[in-house]
Amino acid sequence: MSLQRPRLPLLGFAAYSGTGKTTLLEALIPMLTSAGLRLGVLKHAHHDFDVDIPGKDSYRLRKAGASQMLIASRNRHVLMTETPEAEAEFNYLLSRFDSEKLDIILVEGCKNIAFPKVELHRSELNKPWLYLNDNNIIAIAADEIVESDLPQLNINDLESIAKFVVDYANRFGKEKLPPESCDTLSPAFLSVEQGRQSILDRVPVLSDIETIQRANIYNRVLAKDISSPVNVPTYRNSAMDGFAIRSDDLNREHYQIVAEIMAGDTYLKVVESGQAVKIMTGAAVPQGADTVVMREQATVSGKTVTFGDAKIKAGQNVRQAGEDLAIGQSVFATGQRLHSPEMGMIASLGMDAAPVFRKLKVAIFSTGNEVQQPGIPANDSRIFDSNRYTLMGLLTQLGCEIIDLSIIEDNEQAMIDALHKASQSADVVLTSGGVSVGDADFIKSALESLGSIEFWRINMRPGRPLAFGSINDKPIFGLPGNPVAVMVSFINFVEPALRKMQGELNWQPLKVNAIATEELRSRQGRTEFTRGVYSINQFGQLVVKSTGKQGSGILRSMSEANCLIEISPAVDTVKSGESVTIIPLQGRI
């Protein structure tokens, strides 16, 4: 369910536990209300949290089976809603507030959901800073000063924090609130769907068309509509081995067999009353005849045939010319990927060749000083390059032409040169590694200096950082370095984009539901792609379990998996017996 958030300012407080979020809010709220703000507060709690008191009437009625329990008195009312299937989504929860009666909603928790937040930080806790990796942080309240362009407040100076909140609420007063979009909400913390959509909106479709001989069209994408140049079947023919007779001559005792036609033969005379022609499946039904009686119902004696008490319907067992496809009828539309049935169909139309989009050229390179070409012995501080080879496989599967630009060291100029070269020779460029926030992560700056860049943190695991941009209208994907993250990012973002660029229309990944046979760990607020193994259990149900350890460097998990289990951001942990979405990998990797 994707609901619009209420048109109210929303402000979160993000911090590690122990920072004193609730204590701070408790002290802050009276200051905000006395400044005139009407406050709603949303707090995310542990899943076995309960507001009710055992033994009270509401508790007893709820436990008796009321899935929604509204208890009301003179001073307040509370609606308790059971959500045993899946935790309610953030936007849905926000929609429960009566926005007419509020000026701002403050949120405690929900660290991984995209909306504006103030980071609370106390140095004594020795916890990492959140603002470094979270563009939703719009201000910092801490007990030390950091190097950042964000407004900084003293965490012990409640008055200035209150003033910040009041200013924020006024600045984003109800009437002035911009229409909500993912861009105004958060330019850099996107859901998987938002990321995919942004990419699809930006990549171009190939315009070059070539004509390819029918034997070589497998996996290419059709660039023009095809309508049938012939009738299929081309001539009226028999669907059975049997005897062809006239439909105005059905109830005769004996028929004289005047000829025998095999598939490929033609009988030039007209079949007359009292005559039958022995005919094989696929042979042209001769003129005059229009009905075929199957051989099993016939008794032949010398040159005559009888059909006993067989029920014969006029026109039976005859395939009409153009019955499957008439001349001029549309067969395939532009954007259709050509697989085995389409290859056969194109041949069945008598076509020599088909117009298809030219092959998409994809340049790939790996980055990293530790990354080494396999085949040369590696020392202790180096790893063999696997990503380039996984990408080669994925691109081969999609029928792309691969331009292999090897491994580029962690050096900004080297990356600029490589990206420049790649963008000149290819339609699209894929790199792996060097897109995090480490000291040697130069892809972003290289891309920035050559073209335009969007850098996103996608709310997903594995594969959170994703750089996407373009150089001279050529899309560039900076994929993460971890081998599993490369594959998961490719499947979710690159494959849909490449299919669009190749001209394929309306492609949708296959997703089905399966029952989890074990607990699957995730975290609310982000999509988890767990490597899974699905099977059919003894009751015929589709069930799924994980491949085990899920580290994003464990490439073997992709090899053991036959699906990705997609756990939605709305779900915390999937319990055994619950239904989950799976993305089968067969034919995709």
Long-range contacts of 256-264 (CB under 8 A, 24+ apart): 256/303, 256/304, 257/300, 257/303, 257/304, 257/305, 259/286, 261/286, 263/237
Of the candidate spans 58-66, 367-375, 414-422, 458-466, the one that interacts with Mg ion by CB under 5 A turns out to be 367-375
Say whether residue 463 binds Mg ion (CB under 5 A): no
Of the candidate spans 229-237, 367-375, 518-526, 580-588, the one that interacts with ligand AMP by CB under 6 A turns out to be 367-375
Binding to ligand AMP (CB under 6 A) within 473-512 occurs at: 480-483
Q: Which is nearer to ligand AMP, 276 or 484 (CB)?
A: 484
The per-residue DSSP string of 531-587 comes to EEEEEE-TTS-EEEEE-S---TT-THHHHH-SEEEEE-TT-S-BPTT-EEEEEE-TT
Binding to Mg ion (CB under 5 A) within 415-444 occurs at: 433-434
Say whether residue 465 binds Mg ion (CB under 5 A): no
Binding to ligand AMP (CB under 6 A) within 404-433 occurs at: 432-433
Q: Which is nearer to ligand AMP, 385 or 495 (CB)?
A: 385
Of the candidate spans 68-76, 208-216, 298-306, 378-386, the one that interacts with ligand AMP by CB under 6 A turns out to be 378-386
Say whether residue 368 binds Mg ion (CB under 5 A): yes
175 Cβ contact list (under 8 Å, min separation 6): none
Say whether residue 557 binds ligand AMP (CB under 6 A): no
Cα–Cα distances in angstroms (integers) from residue 212 to residues 225, 276, 289, 357, 427, in the given order: 15, 46, 42, 10, 20
What does the buried/exposed string (b/e) look like for 454-493 if buried means 16 or more CB atoms within 10 Å of the residue's CB?
bbbbbbbbbbbbbbbbbbeebbbbbbbbbbbbbbbbbbbb
Strand partners, 222: 356
Say whether residue 368 binds ligand AMP (CB under 6 A): yes
Dist. CA 293–CA 318, nearest whole Å: 10
Say whether residue 569 binds ligand AMP (CB under 6 A): no
385 binding partner (options ligand AMP, Mg ion, none; Cβ < 5 to 8 Å by kind): ligand AMP
Per-residue tokens: 174 = 């109800």
Query: Residues 428-447 vs ligand AMP: string with x where CB under 6 A?
Result: ----xxxxx-x---------
Binding to ligand AMP (CB under 6 A) within 379-398 occurs at: 383, 385-388
577 binding partner (options Mg ion, ligand AMP, none; Cβ < 5 to 8 Å by kind): none
Cα–Cα distances in angstroms (integers) from residue 475 to residues 200, 442, 536, in the given order: 11, 17, 40
483 binding partner (options Mg ion, ligand AMP, none; Cβ < 5 to 8 Å by kind): ligand AMP
Dist. CA 533–CA 588, nearest whole Å: 15
Q: Which is nearer to ligand AMP, 286 or 463 (CB)?
A: 463
Q: Closest residue (Cβ) to ligand AMP?
A: 481
Binding site for ligand AMP (CB under 6 A): 366, 368, 370-371, 383, 385-388, 432-436, 438, 480-483
